[in-house]
Structure 1
């Protein structure tokens, strides 16, 4: 079977469907086809039903947080008619970072010694200063880029901190947020994220302008589902993994594993860079692209949602938050307990739940355990932190993103020494092939907002070639990898 369209988009996540939706809005006559390898749209967003206090409700097992400072995703949410609600974070918070002892605080200031708190404050100031110096369009063009890319986040912290408490606190925070150990990740990559987000506080905070500030009513997967309906569900082909992309001066020919072939004038690759190795490209992708694919590391994250009859933590004046190194465990093969971070996950319908993360090295170790052993360890860790009520749950579900077919991991990072080809390798078009995906975003890379921004940018590149009259010079100049193009008008 062979199909002829104007544009093919490989990947039906938020970034790919944003590109398709943007193309459709600009010119509905454009024939657009989305090829999605999985049996659903949404990519790294996944909304599932669970037993709840009031029957059944929906929770996000993938990306779930947005913020008022993430203009790209917030504008899209508003346009699609969806609503947000704030992340609950009022009340006592728990930490277990320096020892097995669980400590608590009534404020956002962690219960560390005054020396560790001063150390943390100094580090945050340093990180914010360095982040502001990073060129968001191409981090490697920054003044200290080579030096920062030569060291890991672990090394940066060791050089900057002198208290064990502050170091362990940041180590757990990084592990929870990114799914990588600080020793695995380039300091330049981390600082570019800090800079584009507006500071360390924005990356780890829970106010409405911070990365974990808002959630979407009904879940985030519906963002992709709504866009798929708007571009025409008949144009979104599920269970169509791509195996070959061939292009010449006339167009692109894309062959799927199931034998379907789609020919087009231009195409967008909107999938995790770690997953593109499964596709054969003719001609081959550029050396810059292949290099950055080698240096990008998938995050190891298992996300767990547990629902309850009552939000007992709120009744006790607790926020539902905990940051932990894992705590002790007696399970063979696991150095520490499974958990890294815990937060309130109650829905706007009033159905109580907690969300937690098993991340980085802990995710690898605990993935080898039987599911029931892992569940038991998670519940034990929760009872150590919140008390015995944490064990009496209504429903329990986990999602190991490293085992998700065609995605192969959660949030991605770049290993030490790998940032040289970051911008050119992830964003630069190659012939008729263009690139989206949150990893290629300028702002809020690795977040849903970054995926939206990258999708619009890739669609604008396509429009420049196929429908130039539909875009303005401002739209064109606002895209990172078309800087070499000249404006259409003087």
Structure 2
């Protein structure tokens, strides 16, 4: 039976961004009447923490979003407020690199990969040039930069082929970006990539696990607890699960949100804290502006998968290895695949000392890998890992994998990726409110887009927009400044 309920604010999506928005709104006015509609049966969105077996029982590991770093000020402040502790990413020992036509495995001890001098110079030059170009990009209007139209008309692959000249350095760049974004170079607008780099403060911040970068810390107990603790803290705020939104109708000063179950939620304001690709599936009356509709067509979610494997001991550490691997996949271990499945591997030993490895399967490799049966996928992963760590990888305690395409109301990770031609619609299509509708989600962030920290920043920004309309006296200039302020490294 159809039911109609009235609220001040409806938030669609109980991930980090939607929950952050609700928390911020209530911190400014605890009397706001808010409901959160979540299509799935859990909070957390693209975070997902699972129990896996260990030698002594079970422990928690992440199959979704994984790391935080001190340069990600929004998420770091939030986890501190929630009482969540960090755990340093293990980096000591030999690292492995596998690129080139012969798939040779090389090891190295420093932050500098084992490439020829010419390839290293080529890589260093390319990274510095990308950082320089990224500084010219205005997050709020990327297409307006001097070469915006030109850069949006080419793929990342085109740019790399035009500016880099060593095969191994090109391939390393390809592997790194596949691991970070989950897409192939040929699928990514170069202007979008510059925008992504700009939001993180530089390419190094995206690809490394050193201090102040994106892979600096894991969270003790896993990342999904961010959402679980916020949901608990929200108290009387209702989170209604298994309630996908099908249509949104706006009048002059109110909104009617209809769910798949036929329930209607009337409100003054709504925040859509879901990926752009899923906003496109909702029916709007009146229709969303053309720039938003065009962007939604051009911003699919990336192909991203993870594997976590637990062990009795961290044998790679005993053998002097950090657990870190960067690989083009290496040789194929299945006749239906052109190469091995993996692109990145890290030590994933828990804060409780339970050993584990985490491996990433992304881009075109994942498209091939997901066509295999379960045991064939596992066999390929273990054989790929054995190239670096030996046959002990077969002696695991537990094994879990997650292909984010399998999530019906997410259908990809870690972020929606803009292809060539999308960026002219990017700013207005992503963030600009449309009457009573406001937009959150990590894709809409201007600082650390695509990351948990970006999800928090975007949630706060959408909340501030609403407060400026409904409760303007609660918002200060400092609030606006703090939410848009990029991180400044202490050494600068």
Check whether the contact 2:34–2:237 (CA below 8 A) recurs between aligned residues: no
Q: Structure 2 CA distance, aligned partners of 1:302 and 1:451?
A: 20
Q: Structure 1 CA distance, aligned partners of 2:198 and 2:35?
A: 35
Runs of 5+ consecutive residues of structure 1 not aligned to the other structure: 481-490
* 2:180 pairs with 1:177: yes
Q: Could you say which residue in structure 2 is the equivalent of 1:75?
A: 77
Q: Could you say which residue in structure 1 is the equivalent of 2:455?
A: 451
Q: Deviation of residue 340 (structure 1)?
A: 0.9
In the alignment, which of 275, 279, 282 is matched to residue 279 of structure 1? 282
Q: Could you say which residue in structure 2 is the equivalent of 1:404?
A: 407
* 2:474 pairs with 1:470: yes
Check whether the contact 1:86–1:208 (CA below 8 A) recurs between aligned residues: no
- Give the 4+ runs in structure 1 shifted more than 3 A: 476-480
In the alignment, which of 432, 435, 439 is matched to residue 436 of structure 2? 432
Q: Could you say which residue in structure 2 is the equivalent of 1:484?
A: none
Secondary structure at 2:261 match in 1: coil
* 2:417 pairs with 1:417: no
* 2:170 pairs with 1:167: yes
In the alignment, which of 15, 37, 41 is matched to residue 35 of structure 1? 37
Instruction: Indicate how the Cα distance of structure 1 residues 236 and 389 shifts in structure 2: closer, same or farther if over 3 A, else same.
Output: same
Q: TM-score, normalized by length of structure 2?
A: 0.96
Q: Structure 2 CA distance, aligned partners of 1:2 and 1:477?
A: 38
Secondary structure at 2:352 match in 1: coil
* 2:357 pairs with 1:354: yes
Q: Structure 1 CA distance, aligned partners of 2:238 and 2:256?
A: 17
Q: Could you say which residue in structure 1 is the equivalent of 2:9?
A: 7
Check whether the contact 1:148–1:187 (CA below 8 A) recurs between aligned residues: yes
Check whether the contact 1:275–1:408 (CA below 8 A) recurs between aligned residues: no
Check whether the contact 1:254–1:263 (CA below 8 A) recurs between aligned residues: yes
* 2:207 pairs with 1:237: no
Secondary structure at 2:300 match in 1: strand
Check whether the contact 1:300–1:401 (CA below 8 A) recurs between aligned residues: yes
Secondary structure at 1:412 match in 2: coil
Check whether the contact 1:437–1:451 (CA below 8 A) recurs between aligned residues: yes
In the alignment, which of 232, 255, 259 is matched to residue 258 of structure 2? 255
Q: Structure 1 CA distance, aligned partners of 2:394 and 2:254?
A: 58
Q: Structure 2 CA distance, aligned partners of 1:201 and 1:277?
A: 33
Q: Structure 1 CA distance, aligned partners of 2:298 and 2:322?
A: 38
Q: Structure 2 CA distance, aligned partners of 1:280 and 1:478?
A: 35
Q: Deviation of residue 412 (structure 1)?
A: 2.0
- Aligned Cα root-mean-square deviation (Å): 1.2
Secondary structure at 1:296 match in 2: coil
Check whether the contact 2:256–2:265 (CA below 8 A) recurs between aligned residues: yes
Q: Structure 1 CA distance, aligned partners of 2:283 and 2:482?
A: 31
Number of equivalences? 480
Q: String of CA shifts for 1:175-195, please: whole Å, max 9, x gaps.
A: 111110011101111111212
Secondary structure at 2:274 match in 1: coil
Check whether the contact 2:130–2:203 (CA below 8 A) recurs between aligned residues: yes
Instruction: Indicate how the Cα distance of structure 1 residues 311 and 148 shifts in structure 2: closer, same or farther if over 3 A, else same.
Output: same
Secondary structure at 2:396 match in 1: coil
Runs of 5+ consecutive residues of structure 2 not aligned to the other structure: 485-492
Q: State which drifts further: 178-187 or 106-115.
A: 106-115
Q: Structure 1 CA distance, aligned partners of 2:236 and 2:219?
A: 23
Secondary structure at 1:65 match in 2: coil
Instruction: Indicate how the Cα distance of structure 1 residues 288 and 478 shifts in structure 2: closer, same or farther if over 3 A, else same.
Output: farther
Q: Could you say which residue in structure 1 is the equivalent of 2:323?
A: 320
Q: Could you say which residue in structure 1 is the equivalent of 2:104?
A: 101
Check whether the contact 2:300–2:417 (CA below 8 A) recurs between aligned residues: yes
Q: Structure 1 CA distance, aligned partners of 2:430 and 2:479?
A: 20
Q: Structure 2 CA distance, aligned partners of 1:346 and 1:138?
A: 41
Q: Deviation of residue 216 (structure 1)?
A: 1.1
In the alignment, which of 10, 17, 20 is matched to residue 18 of structure 1? 20
Q: Structure 2 CA distance, aligned partners of 1:71 and 1:409?
A: 25
Q: String of CA shifts for 1:353-380, please: whole Å, max 9, x gaps.
A: 0001111001011111101100011001
Alignment of 1:57-136 (within 5 A): 57-98=59-100, 99-136=102-139
Q: Could you say which residue in structure 1 is the equivalent of 2:148?
A: 145
Check whether the contact 1:379–1:390 (CA below 8 A) recurs between aligned residues: yes
Q: Could you say which residue in structure 1 is the equivalent of 2:208?
A: 205
Q: Structure 1 CA distance, aligned partners of 2:201 and 2:333?
A: 41
Q: Structure 2 CA distance, aligned partners of 1:479 and 1:47?
A: 28
Secondary structure at 1:394 match in 2: strand
Instruction: Indicate how the Cα distance of structure 1 residues 33 and 108 shifts in structure 2: closer, same or farther if over 3 A, else same.
Output: same
Q: Structure 2 CA distance, aligned partners of 1:50 and 1:233?
A: 32
Q: Deviation of residue 108 (structure 1)?
A: 1.5
Q: Deviation of residue 234 (structure 1)?
A: 5.4
* 2:282 pairs with 1:299: no
